[in-house]
Every structure is written in structure tokens, then in C-alpha cells.
Amino acid sequence: MLINCVAYEDGNRLADCPIDEISEYVRRPHCFVWVALKDATPEELGTMQREFGLHDLAVEDARHGHQRPKIEEYGDTLFAVLHTVEVGPTDDLVVGEVDVFIGPNFVLSTRNRTHQGFLGVRERAEREPHLLKHGSAFVFYALLDAVVDRYFPVIDTLETDLESIEDQIFEPHLGRANIERLYALKRKIGIVKHAVSPLQEAVAKLISGRVPQVCSNNREYFRDVFDHLTRMNASLDSLRDTIGTAIQVNLSTLTIEETEITKRLAAWAGIFAVATAFAGIWGMNFQHMPELQLTWGYPAALVIIALACALMWWRFRRAKWL
Amino acid sequence: MLINCVAYEDGNRLADCPIDEISEYVRRPHCFVWVALKDATPEELGTMQREFGLHDLAVEDARHGHQRPKIEEYGDTLFAVLHTVEVGPTDDLVVGEVDVFIGPNFVLSTRNRTHQGFLGVRERAEREPHLLKHGSAFVFYALLDAVVDRYFPVIDTLETDLESIEDQIFEPHLGRANIERLYALKRKIGIVKHAVSPLQEAVAKLISGRVPQVCSNNREYFRDVFDHLTRMNASLDSLRDTIGTAIQVNLSTLTIEETEITKRLAAWAGIFAVATAFAGIWGMNFQHMPELQLTWGYPAALVIIALACALMWWRFRRAKWL
Amino acid sequence: MLINCVAYEDGNRLADCPIDEISEYVRRPHCFVWVALKDATPEELGTMQREFGLHDLAVEDARHGHQRPKIEEYGDTLFAVLHTVEVGPTDDLVVGEVDVFIGPNFVLSTRNRTHQGFLGVRERAEREPHLLKHGSAFVFYALLDAVVDRYFPVIDTLETDLESIEDQIFEPHLGRANIERLYALKRKIGIVKHAVSPLQEAVAKLISGRVPQVCSNNREYFRDVFDHLTRMNASLDSLRDTIGTAIQVNLSTLTIEETEITKRLAAWAGIFAVATAFAGIWGMNFQHMPELQLTWGYPAALVIIALACALMWWRFRRAKWL
Amino acid sequence: MLINCVAYEDGNRLADCPIDEISEYVRRPHCFVWVALKDATPEELGTMQREFGLHDLAVEDARHGHQRPKIEEYGDTLFAVLHTVEVGPTDDLVVGEVDVFIGPNFVLSTRNRTHQGFLGVRERAEREPHLLKHGSAFVFYALLDAVVDRYFPVIDTLETDLESIEDQIFEPHLGRANIERLYALKRKIGIVKHAVSPLQEAVAKLISGRVPQVCSNNREYFRDVFDHLTRMNASLDSLRDTIGTAIQVNLSTLTIEETEITKRLAAWAGIFAVATAFAGIWGMNFQHMPELQLTWGYPAALVIIALACALMWWRFRRAKWL
Amino acid sequence: MLINCVAYEDGNRLADCPIDEISEYVRRPHCFVWVALKDATPEELGTMQREFGLHDLAVEDARHGHQRPKIEEYGDTLFAVLHTVEVGPTDDLVVGEVDVFIGPNFVLSTRNRTHQGFLGVRERAEREPHLLKHGSAFVFYALLDAVVDRYFPVIDTLETDLESIEDQIFEPHLGRANIERLYALKRKIGIVKHAVSPLQEAVAKLISGRVPQVCSNNREYFRDVFDHLTRMNASLDSLRDTIGTAIQVNLSTLTIEETEITKRLAAWAGIFAVATAFAGIWGMNFQHMPELQLTWGYPAALVIIALACALMWWRFRRAKWL
């Protein structure tokens, strides 16, 4: 589905541009065309391929989707695959895909399975013609920056999640809930990591070594994005490491809980065993058990049993078993 | 066993080519020969070595089989070892081997222990003469791509397996089944990893640094394969990491289960101990136990015992021990 | 908030310099301006950007704060983000940020969320004009060195903490306290690590490869800082590794404790079970139980029971179960 | 002990060469001398050092033995330390050492603590004069290849061992045996790894970067050896990884076993507690317990107790506790 | 404290050299001065700095001590920090420090907190003038070699320690002792690792890439030291890895022990429960219990109880629970 297709000259909006005139605008100097698609059909991609002269393999990738984030050169054109990560209605993470083709005088983006669009990026860019004048590479930067900036709230959510688990990680009766939440969190981190980590590698190539021609004038902007990605990556690694430790700690907490229950079991078993043993002894059928004849024998026995149990209870209490 | 042996000129099928005329066709310009063998005997390999002038060590490797995936240069010839991974009848993974020799004007492939062949690759290539015109390197790409594409369903199977384990990972009575399935899955991942990971390294050399002469015009195609392999590798690493966590989680789940059983054991032991202790006390043989003489003593005792047990049951219930 | 703003010539204090004359002083040869801000407002940063001609992206970073430690080049200006780590009132770690802009003849530093200032650095530098003569790069070194030196006492605190945990790690009843302290310590190490590790990477670029122009004459000083950071990093890694082992050891200690309690439970359960079994047998209602008629039957029974229990107690004692 | 000392010319055996004429043969063009020692004494090494002009440090290393596998250049001479690994009589691994000096026209090898010799290598080489013509580097390759090929059966043994452990890893009563075998296996893998891994690094230098002069014409042969070492290394890493997982799985299996035993303990304790409680109640001494007077009271009681126990047994059975 | 200060010419001892004439000797060609200090005071270091013209930062490091092992260039002078590791009286490890300044014609070493000195190194060097002729770099090599050689016995001690732990690692009642010893050993390994690992990195720079001028003629000697350090590092890594596994194995062993104790507990609890249940049944007060009237009822009951217990004992025995 075509969202919009606009031609720009010297950073200013020139005209909404009909699809079949794209190739004309692309040929004009100082002019570039910025096309945005959503859930593009194979036919639309075919049209675009003809108008912009895109490479077979790149269009193939865009058609199939489900690529790994990457930035590839095909001649003087770049093909970038970005992943969007959005928090879905039931707190799960939804991964979408934005494919961007960047040529010397065109930018073509197509987004799939994403809820939020990039109209805001276009508006902001159009308000700053002195930046938009940098051409298609700046548009690419703006899209990239928008995608990357949207990772931050997601990572914040994950960090908040972890903190709320950590608040109760030493509460033993929550062992099962904690381990389930830690496992779910680890999976979410994996999802974000798969978006961030390959993108960081890809952006690194835009700022060091042999930089693609089309991006060579905007290195500082891409370094800024790279910097954000590096920070996110460090946060994710740190989250992952903490979860690993938290899982180990969870196991220790569970073992402590079991030890405490075993202690209680042992303590109460002991106390009742004493009572039962006394009762059993005075329940024996020997004929000559003088205490059985005493009038105050029974109450005395009850008191002795109670005292013995109380003594044990007190000792277990002191030893922190109860 | 010879599958077929065809000569191509400018991307078009020229002729089925008898084995002993191979060396003639190979010498013709703009012409290349594509030979496919299956479970080649040492004699067949010997013939091929003479016709194509292959290097001793490469032929030796092809004869012995069981090589690690690799791509090696011998002068202007490449020798590639690829592993196929197929899901066998009993859900186990069967690893086969495809050895490919690529010269400036020939391709020789021989497959061992594989169920599925590569006739489809040849058919598709012959339908696209404008691509086949690129020569032997394109044929190599087509074979490589076919082998690599067949890894995807296998990896999907593994991911589905893991998901089905994850669905029941917190069900404690399945502890043993889960750990066995996780272990089996980890082994399967190892098998696929051994096919994918060395191949990725090998293909990397075809797209960066000093690229072998024979592949230098098809770099974008090999980059596409490399990209697939990178994605697979990331999937496998992620699977492996998740399994590691799942094994730890399994242990926590087991410990939780044990704790719960210990709790129940403690609770019921306590309840019965109370009953037994009361019964033991009223079973003592003291002569002066006034309650024993009462008509309603026995029913009262039963009620007292029942109430004591019920009280304990209720407290254990509230504490979630029962 | 402006702390101070001073112009220096040939290493000597020239004059306190009004903000709106900064750009004049900056243009004078052999002269450099050193400005210190604290919790700078966007307006102050805007003024500084105009006076010194700073890059948009760098000023943006300084405005937002919460950057990762880094050192970036913008033309002939360096932009450095440093983290301070201070031990807060309740023993927690407080992370602050110092942003430094270094040009050929100016240094601008602004610190946020830090308790301690850098007046001492300026005083010490002014006492050594022969060093201050090296210009703005030397001032940057002095600030960097001050920030880094303040990490040492923090790391010492962490090491002391770990040692005090290690002193009681094998005391089983402290299992829960130990694991909580280890977990808290691990988090603190992570905080310091996030300050030290990226800074080490950044400083490495000042001493090897393509060194930024402005720092090229002070390489030995930056190598000294790099050396400190390397040492800290090694200490932190070593701490982290030790904590990992300590958590494992904690689990073993807990398991040992549980085993010992199980042993005791088993031992006492056995002893009482013997007493109860004997009592039960002599409590049976058979008519012909000759020992029941004996005058000394009852005391003998008590002695037998006591002896049996004592024997078991002694054997458990010898087996170290009690 | 001198095994043999032969001079070769153009790949053909020229003559058995007396030790004190070695230096003469070494000076002849197209000629090289191949000396094999076994458990060389310091005196023998001294003689060889004089005849071949070997470097002090290399001879020192050969004299002391117990070096790490390595290949070092001393001028135009190479010094290689290789480890042999043999399966000893009691299934333990015996590590021996082969030190090889390779000059432009000599090869000197001395083996220590190895059972098997290298006579077969010499025989095979002498049968192929067209290969032996390549000179001392080819001899080095042949020795290297022989040493490396002998690792394969050792690694196979380890893999077979692991498989036999895996067959019984989920059998809980074998927990102790399994963990002992896994630990022993891990140690053996470490031993082989110490032979393979440094050698792989060393051989890598013979095929890439600045290749030592003496080996520059045999690169493909050394690449073949490198390939074998890479494969072995991958196998060993994979073994090690699997053992790590197996140890974790073993712990889970043990925990499962403990849980099952706790379940049984709980079940039987429950069943007997029921019986004991009933018996205790009917053993109370209340005067008015009407059921005690009934003729069929006793058999009814027995039946009730039996039924209660059976009911519990059945429920535990259904819950898989028994 | 000055140990000695000697001038050498062409490898031969020229004269004991008074401290204030050092700078004269240093200026003479073919001559170098070798000064050894012990626990040098700041004043002594100040004198030396003036005489040899040492760099501020290096002298600062030497004054403060507690540096990480490193080798740094200051102009044509090298500054090396080495750690000595000695086994102290109570089997703990004592870390000392040796700081060495190496100039084209001087060597200054100062050792702190070390028990053993380096007089032996000087004596050995003076006995070999042909080596000492190589100048200050050779003296540096000799000191370095002496320090490194003293690590070997320490590492041997650690390996012996580990072996003695391994001999008893599967003995469950030693669980606590084993884990304490493993933890202590791990800490010791960390201490040695901190001496060896950074030194290896530092020495690597003396043999590859841009080698400092002063060492360029002794590369083979430094490679020899590097080789030793590599071997040690591998040993330490291997020790560390084994300890990690041993800690895991220890946990398994503890779990096995607990399982065995639980089994025994269950078995004995079962046996006594049977006895108690029988006794309880015959202790019931039903009027019509015919077996109670039989003369041989009591002995028969005892036999039945004994047989039941024996049967259970035998079955538990067969199941290896007892």
C-alpha cells in the first residue's frame, strides 16, 4: 500500500509525485524522491524495482521479509533491513520490519507488521530543509534514528520488569513465579537483542573503514545512532547477565526454603515423637507400674509430656528451626 | 554413480557429454561442463581427476568423506565440502555430504549419504540461461544455495520442538521428560551447527578480502548465501542459549517440586502425629483418668481429635502447604 | 551554573574571563580558556555552543545526559563523557556524569549529579605552570585522571565487602544473608564496570592508532590513565568471577546444610521410632506375655528402651550424624 | 638413542650416513639428511647441535622436554614440538613428545615417552621419491601428518566413551558412576586438547601471513594438516560442551531421583500413619466404646484399616507417587 | 636500600660504581651500569631518576608500587613491572614486585616485598661475558627469566593441590572440606594469574610488531620467556576450568549423598512403621480378638513382626537403599 511519494529539491518539498513519473524525477539533479510503502504487495515492489532500478536479490529479500537486520551495498544503492519492536496489547513484544532502499537520489521504505508509522519523521524532516538538503542519506539517518529511538522505551520496560522481580527474588514462596517471570524476561531480551545487535554491526560499517559513497557526508549522524545502539547493547547484555545470576540466586533461595521446611518438619516430628513415646510407655501393660496407681498420676503425666514438648519447642525456637 | 554430465555454452545446454570427452569440452571457450555424481566410487573419482586435472589432496578428501564443511583453493580450482542435514524417518537428523569441485569451466559435484538430489537445481538453472551464462561459479552458487535453503526447515523443526518443551517446562511432574527432550534437542542443534558454522566461515572468504578468481563476478550472490548462514547461525546460538537457560529452569522447577512434596509430607505427618498423640494419651493405663469413665467420653475424644486435625489441615491449607 | 571561567597564557592564569568575551580569548594565540559548569541549563549550554562553536550532536548529548562513557571527535574538537561513581549515604553507589569539550584552545567541563567537584584539579594545575603550558589536552588529562582516581576507593570498598562475605561463606546458617549480599555486590560491580569499561576503550584510542591532533603531545599521560583503567577493569572482572564462584559455593554450602539436617532428622526419627516400637509391643493385649507379670518387668523395660536409644545415639554420633 | 640417519638426493636414498659425516652431506646441494633419535641423551643432542648448527634455546627446549606444542623459527631453521597421545594399558592417556628440527637440507627428529615410532613414515616417504624430492619440508609434513593422524583414534575413543555414558545418563541409580565417568572423560579431553589446540595455532602460521622460507612450497600439504587439526579441535570443543551439559543433566536427574524417593517416603509414611492412627484410636481406654464389644468388631476394624490403606495406596499410585 | 651498583664493559665487570658517578659511566661507550635496589626509599628513587634521567610517570609508578605487571616505553627507556609470587610460611601466596628500568646502557631494578633476591642472576650473568656483552637488554632478559622461572614451582604446588582434592572429590562426607579447598585454590590461581597473564601480553610486544629499540637484538630470548608464560597461562586456565567442573561435581556428589541418606531414612522409617502398626493393632481393645487368648499368641506376634521387618530390610537391601 502506497503511503506517500514526494519529490524534494534542495531540501524543500517539490511535489507529490505520481508513481509512473518517479524515474523522471530521479534523473533530475539536486532532486530526490522519498517513497513510503506499507505491507507492500509483490506488484508494488515490482513497480518500484523498475522505477528505481533495484537489484533482484534485495527486492527478493524485501518480498520475503523475515530477514536479519542488515545494511548491504548493491552498486551505489544501499539496502537496509531494520526491525521494529513494539509492546503488544498483552505485554508481549511484536517484531515488525522496515526495509529501506537508499540511492543517490531516492529513498524507498516499506514497513511490515508494524503498528506505528513514520509520518512524524517526514514532517520533522520537512521542517528542517537545511538538514534535508543533505539528501537521501539524511532521510535514511532520520528513519534509522526513529526506529532505534523506539527501542529505548522497550528496553526500559524490560529493566523495570527485572527490578520488580528483584524486589521479591529472596521471597521463597514466590520461587515459581519468579523463575517463570525471569524465563519470560530472558526471552524478551533475546527478541530485542536480535533487533539491536546485528543492526549495531551493520551501522558500524557506515562509520569506519570503507564507508559507502552515499553515506560519506553524514558520518557524524550515523556515529550518533551507532552510539545509541552500543548503549542499548550494553544494557541488554547487562540485563542478560543479571538474569543469569538471578536464576542462580533463585535456585539458592529455593534450596534455603527447602532447608527451612525440612528443619520445621524435623522439629515438629521430634516434638510429637516425644509425646507419643511417653504415651506409649505409660500405655504398656506391665502389672507393676506404680505411677499408674497414683491419683495424681494422670495429670502429672500430662504435665510431664507438655513440659517435655515445650522444652523441645523452646530449644528448636532458639536454634531458629521454628 | 554418474547422475548426469552436460556441457553448456553461453548458458544454454549444448549436449549430454560422454565422460571420456569431458576434457575436450573443457578446453572449448565459453563452454563449461557440469557433472553430477552420487556415492562416487574411487574409480569414478580417479577418472574425474584425470579429466579435470584435480589436486591429489582434494580428491583424497572427497574419497574419504566425513570432512568438515570447507572451501579450499587449489590453484584456480575450488574444492568445497558441504553437509546436508535431513530429518530421518524416526525424527533423528541424517547428515550427508556434497563435495563440489569448481574450475573456470567445469563443476563436478558428488553427493554421499543424502536422500534428496539436486536435479531441481539443474532444471531451474537451465530455465534461466541469462544467469547460467555467468558460468561455473553461478552453478556453485545454485548448489550452495540449495543446500543452505534445506537447512531452514530443519531449524524450524528444532524451534518448534523447543517451543513445545517450553509450553510444559514449568509442569513439575514432566521434569524427567523435559530434561531428556532438552538434552536430545541440544544434540540435534550441535549437529546442524557443525554443518552451518564452518560453512559460514568458508563462504565469508568468498565475499571479502582476497576473493578466489573464479567467484569474483558473483559476489552479491555469495553474500546472499552468507547472509542466510549468518541468520541460521544466530538462530542456532539463540536456541542453544535458550536450552541452557531451560535446563537451569528445569532444575529450579524440580527443586520447587521437591519443596512442595516436602511441605505436603510435613503437613500430613503433622496431622497424623496429632491424632496419634491424642490416641496414645487416652490409651495410657493410669487408673484415675476421669474422662475415660464418661459415657460421652469416646465420642467427645473422636470429635476433639477430628477438630484438632481439621484445624491443622486448615492452617496448612492457608499456608499453601496442602 | 557557572563555577568559574578562566583564561590561561603559557600555563599561567591570565584573567577571570566574562562569558561573553570567551570567543575573543579563544582567538588569541598561546592562550586557552577553561570553563567549568555544574548542572548546566540548556541556556548555558546554548551560550557555550555559540562561544566555542560546538557541534549540535555533542551539545545534544550533553543536554540529555545519561550517555555511555565515550570520547568522540568532532572536527578538531573532542567531546568526552565520563561517569563519576560515589558511595552514597546508605552505602549505595551514585553515578554522576562529567561532560568535557576539548578544543585546541579551550576546555569546557560540565558535571551533573556529582557531589564532589573539581576545584582541586584546577588548583593543582595552576601550581604547575610548566605542565599547564601543554594546553587544553593537559587539562583534559588532569580531569580524566581525577575522575579515574576516584574509582579506586570505590573498588576497594567492593573488595572489602567481598572479603567480609568470604569470611562467612561456609557458615551454613548465613546462607540467605550471604546470597543477598553477593547479589547486591554483583549489582554494584556492574555499576562501576559500566563506568570503567567503556572509558578504557575510549582512552585506548587516545594512545594508539590515529591519535586525535589535540592529544598527540600528551600520549604518555593518557597511557598512564589507560593503565589505571586496565588495572581497575582486571580487578572488577576478577571480583565478578569470584562472586560467580561464591554463588556456586553458597549453593553447595546450602546443600551440605540440608544434608546435615536430614541426617539429624533421620537419626532422631530412628531413636524415637525404636522407643515407640518397644512400647507398642509391650502395650499389646496378649494374655500370655510373661514379662508383664514380673515385678521388675517395668523398670527392666525402661532400661532396655533407654539402652537401645543410647546405643543408637552413640552409633549416630560416631557416624557424625548427630 | 640413534634410530637411523640417512642422506637423500633428489628424493632417493643416497646412503646411511655416519654421524660425524653429517655436516659434509648437509653442505652438498640437492641433498638432505634425515636423522631420527629416540630418548636422546644430552650428549647426542650436543653432537647434533654441532653437526647441524642448531640454536642454543631450541636445543635447551629439546633437552628439558615437557614443552607446549609449538613451531618456532631460528634463522632459516624451524623447531617444532609435537605431542603424541596414546591410549595406555589401563585406558589412561599417555602423552609423549616429538621434537623436530627442520633446516633447508636436514630434518632431525627425537621422540620421548612414545610407544609407537615413525619408521612407517620413512618407508612410505621412500616409496614416493617424487614427493620426497620436495625436501626437508615434505619430511616435516609427513611426520606432522603421522602425529596428527594418530589423534583421530584417541578422539574416537573419547566419543565412544561419551556415547556409552549418554546411554545411561537418565538412569538415576547410576548417578554416581556417571558423574565419575564424566569427570574422568573431561580430564582426558583436556589432555588431548593440550596437544591439538596449540599445534593448530602453530600450523596456522605455516599457511598464512609470513610463511617460513623452508615451508613455502608445501603450503597445500600443511593446510591439509591444519584442516585435520581444526576438525579435531571442533570435535573436542563439542565433546567438552556436551560433557558440561551432561553434568548439568546429571544433577537434574539426581534431583528427580531424590524427589521420587521423597514421594515414596511420603506415600508410605502416610499409609502407615493411617493404620497407626486407627489402631491408636481403638486402643484408647474409654469405657463406653460400643464397637469394641461387638463380636465382629475386630475383623471389621481390620477390614476398615486395610481398606483405608488400600484407598491411599491406590490414590498415591494414580498420582504416580508409588 | 642499595644492594649493589656495578659498571660493565664488553660484558666484563669493570668496577663497583659509586652512586654519584653513575652518570659518568653511563656516558662511556660499550659500557653499562647495573644497579639493584631493595625496598627503595623515595629519596633513593629520586637520586636514580637524576642519574639516569628517568621519566616522572615511571618513577611515580615505582614509588607507589602495587602496579599491574607491564612493560612501557618512555623514549629509549623501558619501564617494566614484574610480580614475584612466593609460597609463604602458612602456605598462602605472597606477591612481591620488581620494577626494572632499562636504558641503552643501564639497568636499574628495585624489588619490594620479595623474600628471595636476584644475586644469583648477576653471578650467572658475570660467568658468561659473551652473553652479557649483549648489554642491558640481556640483563633485563635474565631478570625476567628468573622471575618467570620462579612461577613454575608455585604452579606445580597448585596442580598437586588440585590432584589431592580430586582424589577425594567423590567421597561425600568430605563435601564441605572439598568445597572449601576448591574455593581457596581458585583464589590462589587468581593471584598467580594476575602475575602471569598481563606479563604475557607485555612480553608479546617485545617479540612482534614494533619491537622497542633496546630489545631488538634479543628477540629469540624474549620469545623463550613468552613461551614459558604462554605455557603457564594455559596451565592456569586449565586448572581454573577443572576447578569449575570440580565444584559442579561436588554439588552432584552432595546431592547423591543427600539422596542416599533420604533412602536410608525412608527405609528405616518404613521398617519401624511396620512394627509399630502391628503392635498398634494387637494393642486395640476389642473384646473378641481370638489370637490374644492363645498361649503362643505373643511369641507368634513377635516372630511375625520380626519376619515382616526382616523381609522389608532384605528388600531395601536388595534395592541398595540400605
The phi, psi pair for C216, rounded to 5°, reads -70, -20
C276's grid cell? 515407640
- Inter-residue contact D109 to D100 (CB < 8 Å): yes
**Is the pLDDT assigned to residue D210 strictly greater than 80?**
no
- Say if strands D106-112 and E2-9 run parallel, antiparallel, or are unpaired: unpaired
Residues in chain B with CB shorter than 8 Å from the CB of D248 are 247-248, 251
Q: How far apart are CA B39 and CA B37, in angstroms?
A: 7
Report residue A109's pLDDT band, with 50, 70 and 90 as the boundaries: very high
First to last CA, chain B: 69
- Is the pLDDT confidence value at B209 over 80? no
How many A/C residue pairs have CB atoms within 8 Å?
Answer: 129
Number of residues written out for chain E: 322
Q: Using only C-alpha atoms, what is the Rg of chain D? A: 35
Q: What is the pLDDT of residues C8-52, one digit of tens each?
A: 988 889 889 888 888 888 888 888 999 999 999 999 999 999 989
DSSP assignment of B254-287 equals HHHHHHHHHHHHHHHHHHHHHHHHHHHHHTS--S
Inform me whether the C-beta atom of residue C219 falls under 8 Å from chain E C-beta atoms. Answer: no
pLDDT above 80 (res A111): yes
Higher pLDDT, C269 or D45: D45
Q: Which residue's C-alpha cell is 554430465? A: B5
Instruction: Please state, in angstroms and rounded to a whole number, the distance separating the CA atoms of residues E138 and E120.
Output: 15
For A227, name the nearest residue in chain C, comparing CA atoms only: C68
Q: Does B224 touch chain A (CB under 8 A)?
A: yes
CB contact under 8 A, E259 and D258: yes
Q: Is residue C143 exposed (0-12), middle (13-18) or buried (19+ Cβ within 10 Å)?
A: buried
Angle in degrees, CA E254, E260, E266, rounded to 5:
135
Max CA separation in chain C (angstroms): 123
Q: How far apart are CA D79 and CA E133, in angstroms?
A: 26
Question: Does the pLDDT value for residue E143 go beyond 90?
Answer: yes
Mean pLDDT of the D90-116 span: 92
Name which of B162, B167, B227 is nearest B188 in CA terms: B162
In which band, very low, low, confident or very high, does the pLDDT at A211 lie, cut at 50, 70 and 90?
Answer: confident
C150 Cβ under 8 Å from any chain A Cβ: no
Q: Does the pLDDT of residue A7 top 90, yes or no?
A: yes
**Which of B231, B262, B280 is nearest residue A283 as measured by Cβ atoms?**
B280
Asked if D78 and D212 count as a contact pair (C-beta separation under 8 A), the reply is yes
End-to-end Cα, chain A, rounded Å? 69
Interaxial angle between packed helices D219-282 and D151-166, expressed in degrees from 0 to 180 and rounded to the nearest 10: 20
pLDDT class for B322, splitting at 50, 70, 90?
confident
Q: Which of C181, C120, C113 is nearest to C146 (CA)?
A: C120
Percent of chain D with pLDDT over 70: 100
Question: Could you tell me the pLDDT band of residue D185, with boundaries at 50, 70 and 90?
Answer: very high
**Spatial CA neighbour of E281 closest among B308, B293, C286:** C286
| Helix ranges, chain B (H) | 22-27, 42-52, 56-64, 119-126, 129-132, 136-149, 151-166, 175-207, 219-282, 297-318
Considering all CA atoms of chain A, what is the largest pairwise distance in Å, rounded to the nearest integer?
A: 123
Query: If you average pLDDT over every residue of chain C, what do you get?
Result: 90
B270: its cell numbers: 503433622
Q: Phi and psi at residue D78, in whole multiples of 5°? A: -105, 145
Most D CBs within 10 Å: which of E182, E252, E254, E272, as the mutation test of the D interface? Answer: E252
Over residues E104-129, the mean pLDDT reads 90
Q: What is the mean pLDDT of residues D58-72?
A: 89
Q: What percent of chain A has pLDDT over 70?
A: 100
Residues 6+ apart with CB under 8 A from E161: E181, E185, E188
Angle (deg, nearest 10), helices C151-166 and C219-282: 20
Q: Does C187 touch chain A (CB under 8 A)?
A: yes
CA distance D95 to E99: 39
Angstrom distance (rounded) from CA D65 to CA D97: 7
Tell me if residue A43 falls in helix, strand or coil.
Answer: helix
Q: What is the pLDDT of residues B102-151, one digit of tens each?
A: 998 899 999 999 988 888 899 999 998 888 888 899 999 999 999 999 99
CB-based contact, A265 to chain B, within 8 Å: yes
Cβ contact D30:D156 at 8 Å: no
Query: What confidence score (pLDDT) does residue C250 get?
Result: 92
- pLDDT over 70, % of chain C: 100
> Contacts of residue C268 in chain A, CB cutoff 8 Å?
266, 269-270, 273
Q: How many CB atoms lie within 10 A of CB A203?
A: 24
pLDDT at D59: 92
- Nearest chain E residue to D180 by CA: give it: E170
Rounded CA separation C320/C305 (Å): 23
C-alpha cell of D159?
Answer: 566419543
User: How high is the ipTM of this complex?
Assistant: 0.82
Lowest mean pLDDT among D40-44, D239-243, E208-212: E208-212
A298 lies within 8 A of chain B by CB: yes
Is the CB of E89 inside 8 Å of chain C's CB atoms? Answer: no
Question: Is B298 part of the contact surface with chain D (CB cutoff 8 Å)?
Answer: yes
| pLDDT confidence of residue D171 | 87
d(CA E195, CA B283): 75
Confidence of residue A101 (pLDDT cuts 50, 70, 90): very high
In three-state secondary structure terms, E16 is strand
Q: Which residue has the cell 631450541?
A: D58
Per-residue model confidence as pLDDT tens digits over A131-169: 888 889 999 999 999 999 999 999 999 999 999 999 999
Rounded alpha-carbon distances, angstroms, from residue D136 to C161, D2, D59, D141: 61, 19, 19, 9
Interatomic CA distance for residues D253 and D247, integer angstroms: 10
What is the C-alpha separation between A84 and A65, in angstroms, rounded? Answer: 13
pLDDT band, very low/low/confident/very high, at D42 (cuts 50, 70, 90): very high
Mean pLDDT of D130-149: 91
What's the rounded mean pLDDT across residues E42-70? 90
Which chain B residues are closer than 8 Å to A72 by Cβ?
223, 227
Report the SS3 class of residue E84: strand
- Per-residue pLDDT band for B171 (boundaries 50, 70, 90) equals confident
CB half-sphere exposure, C246, CA atoms < 13 A: 29
Q: Taking the model in full, what pTM does it have?
A: 0.87
Mean pLDDT, range C135-163, rounded to an integer = 93
Nearest CB among C74, C262, C297 relative to A286 is that of C297
Half-sphere exposure (Cβ direction) of A59: Cα atoms closer than 13 Å: 16
- pLDDT tens-place string over residues A212-250: 888 887 888 999 999 999 999 999 999 999 999 999 999
More confident residue, C269 or E148: E148
pLDDT at A90 over 90: no
Average pLDDT over residues E200-225: 85
Contact in structure between B218 and D223 (CB atoms under 8 Å): no
Q: Cell numbers 500430613 label which residue? A: B268
Q: Does E240 touch chain D (CB under 8 A)?
A: no
- Bridge partner list, C102: C78, C107
**What per-residue confidence (pLDDT) applies to C69?**
93
Mean pLDDT in residue range A65-72: 88
pLDDT tens per residue, range B51-105: 898 998 899 999 988 888 999 988 889 999 999 999 988 889 999 999 999 998 8
- Alpha-carbon distance of B262 to B316, in angstroms, equals 13
pLDDT band with cut points at 50, 70 and 90 for residue D130: confident
Q: C79 contacts in A (CB within 8 Å)?
A: none
Range from C204-213, E11-20, E69-78, E101-110 carrying the lowest mean pLDDT: C204-213
